[in-house]
Amino acid sequence: MKTIAAISTPPGEGGIGIIRLSGPDSLSIINRISSKKIHQPHRLMYAHIINPKTEEIIDEVLISYHKAPRSYTKEDVIEINGHSGLVVLQRILEVVLICGARLAEPGEFTKRAYLNGRIDLAQAEAVASLISAKTELARKVALSQLKGDLSAKIKAITDEIFEIFTRVSASLDFEEVEELDRQGLLSKLTFIKKELDSLIQSFTQGRFLSSCAVGVIVGRPNVGKSSILNGLLGEDRAIVTPIPGTTRDLVSETIDISGACLKITDTAGLTHAIDIVEKEGVKRAKKAMESADIVIFVIDGSEPLSEETYNLIEGIRNETIICINKIDLKQRIDRRQIERLGKKSIFTSAKKGDLSELKDAISKVLLPNLDESHLITNIRHKEALKETASQIAKAITNLKRGAEEEIIAYDLKEASDSISEITGKRTTEEMLDKIFASFCIGK
Ligand SMILES: Nc1nc2c(ncn2[C@@H]2O[C@H](COP(=O)(O)OP(=O)(O)OP(=O)(O)O)[C@@H](O)[C@H]2O)c(=O)[nH]1
Ligand SMILES: [Mg+2]
């Protein structure tokens, strides 16, 4: 394999910038450009990087040598810690490339770690998730996946499927000797199907760790929608006035709610607008509502429930969070009317900054009963699990209707192939290219 190199730190001015090399020529390349001979592994060496052609000093650096196989890629790795400036790092990279390295592709160091068997594919993907983690919870889950917790769970299920496949296949070969225990197999497969379904189900929460959930705040004019947005953000983002119809456009921001990422949008008050601008605002509010994961419907608790509001509540989705705001004022709303519609409500006072019930309700929707170590956050994993589950379901149906062993063995083989894609025991070049293309260069 050819030796690769890249600047591994983000571009810009900073304390330290790192250039990383990996491959069989790493050591010989560094020794052509370093003022000191590098031979001892796992030590930091102080040296200068020198252009071998002009003998000009390029930078004063620290060099570390990670000898194969005890390195990130399991190959010989050299890391040059230079001064982080765009020109400095580019000049070091240039001489490294002149001496025979090739510029690394995005994610190529991690791809080599996978190809050389240090980590599996799910762990390689966890590296990207860890880097892009936007919340503390996303970091925790990515790290647990990098450690191999998810891979272990997937491996356990893969082994169970494979064991059953082997048994069914064996009964094919020695039909008279071994009669298949169909009832026993059925209960095992049903158990596997349950495990798969619970992992698939976990993606409804897990996806909010890799990409933001979409939330929208709606309601009649002047109920306090913009005040709630500002309260959740902790800053005066949207204009708040006592005049109904203040917000006309959509105002969006991203927040961290209990570790889940939420892109929340404040909207124009829902009204039978006559004004052309307001009309457009209402249209946009309704559209935002349709595609949202979470809808927060705000009501002013200091007013009796109007017919318009009642009709709006009646029409919204059941899982909508009904938020009765302005509880610091004398309450004139009859909560039972809302309950009669089969909807649950919570209380807030945006004015007093009391939004705890709302935050709890949001995190309950985003992250209920979270099991961090067995959470599917990657859509590729979810799709592979869905495919596996559907093959297992086929095997169950075929088993129940007394189908031949050959057919059941085929379903199980398909299931085993699908689940093996997650950890990368079975991959295609195209699949790997797609996965690693989303990485940054130098990782
Ligand atoms: N007492 C009290 N007043 C509130 C509360 N929340 C908002 N208000 C006031 O209600 C008025 C309207 O607040 P906004 O946040 O602009 O309401 P809105 O729903 O965004 O209004 P539009 O954009 O016009 O639809 C302002 O005068 C706020 O100060 C609250 O919890 N208690
Ligand atoms: Mg507003």
- Centre of ligand 1 from the C-alpha of residue 336, in Å: 23
- Closest-CA residue, ligand 1 atom 10, reads 224
Shortest-distance Cα residue to atom 27 of ligand 1: 242
- pLDDT (tens place) for every residue of the chain, 443 residues total: 899 999 999 999 999 999 999 999 999 999 999 999 999 999 999 999 999 999 999 999 999 999 999 999 999 999 999 999 989 999 999 999 999 999 999 999 999 999 999 999 999 999 999 999 988 889 999 999 999 999 999 999 999 999 999 989 887 776 554 567 888 999 999 999 999 999 999 998 888 888 889 999 999 999 999 999 999 999 999 999 999 999 999 999 999 888 888 999 999 999 876 788 878 888 888 889 888 999 999 999 999 999 889 888 888 887 899 999 999 999 999 888 888 888 889 999 999 999 999 999 998 888 777 777 789 999 999 999 999 999 999 999 999 998 988 999 999 999 999 999 999 998 889 989 999 988 888 88
Distance 249 CA to ligand 2 centre (A): 9
The amino acid present at 364, given as its one-letter code, is K
Domain map of the chain by residue range? 4-104, 124-206+378-437, 213-366
Architecture of domain 124-206+378-437: Up-down Bundle (1.20)
Find the length of the chain. Answer: 443
Question: Is the CB of 326 inside a 6 Å radius of any atom of ligand 1?
Answer: yes
For residues 320-346, one letter each, b for 16 or more C-beta atoms within 10 angstroms of the residue's C-beta and e for the rest, the string is bbbbbbbbeeeeebeeeebeeeebebb
CATH number assigned to the domain covering 4-104: 3.30.1360.120
Spatial distance between the Cα atoms of 295 and 214, rounded to a whole number of angstroms: 9
What region, left, alpha or beta, does residue 150 occupy, with left being phi > 0 and alpha being psi -120 to 50 degrees?
alpha
Q: Which atom of ligand 1 is nearest to the CA of 248?
A: 23
Give the whole-angstrom CA distance, residue 46 versus residue 53.
Answer: 21
**416 token code pair:** 């085993």
Q: Which residue bears the tokens 């296949």?
A: 169
At 353, list the tokens: 């900054």
- 382 close to ligand 1 (CB < 6 Angstrom): no
Give yes or no for residue 350 CB within 6 A of ligand 1. yes
Cα(274) to centroid(ligand 1), Å: 22
pLDDT at position 174 is 64
- Which superfamily does CATH assign the domain made up of 213-366 to? P-loop containing nucleotide triphosphate hydrolases (3.40.50.300)
Atom of ligand 1 nearest to the CA of 298: 19
- Ligand 1 pocket check for 323: Cβ under 6 Å: no
Atom 7 (ligand 1) nearest CA: 224
User: Distance from the CA of 278 to the center of ligand 1, in angstroms?
Assistant: 17
The residues whose Cβ lies within 5 A of ligand 2, an ion, are: 225-226, 246-247
Burial of 290 (0-12, 13-18, 19+ CB in 10 A): exposed
Is there an atom of ligand 1 within 6 Å of 133 CB? no
Nearest CA to ligand 1 atom 13: 224
Contact by Cβ (8 Å): 226, 240 = yes
pTM, 2 dp: 0.82
293 burial via Cβ count (<10 Å: 0-12, 13-18, 19+):
middle
Q: State residue 215's pLDDT score.
A: 95
Residue 376 CA to residue 364 CA, distance in Å, equals 18
Cβ of residue 225 lying under 6 Å from some atom of ligand 1: yes
Q: Which residues of 239-258 are buried (b: 16+ CB within 10 A; e: fewer)?
A: ebeeeebbbbeebbbebebb
Instruction: Please tell me the number of the ligand nearest to residue 223's CA.
Output: 1
Which pair of tokens denotes residue 316? 């919204």
- CB of residue 246 inside a 6 A radius of ligand 1: yes
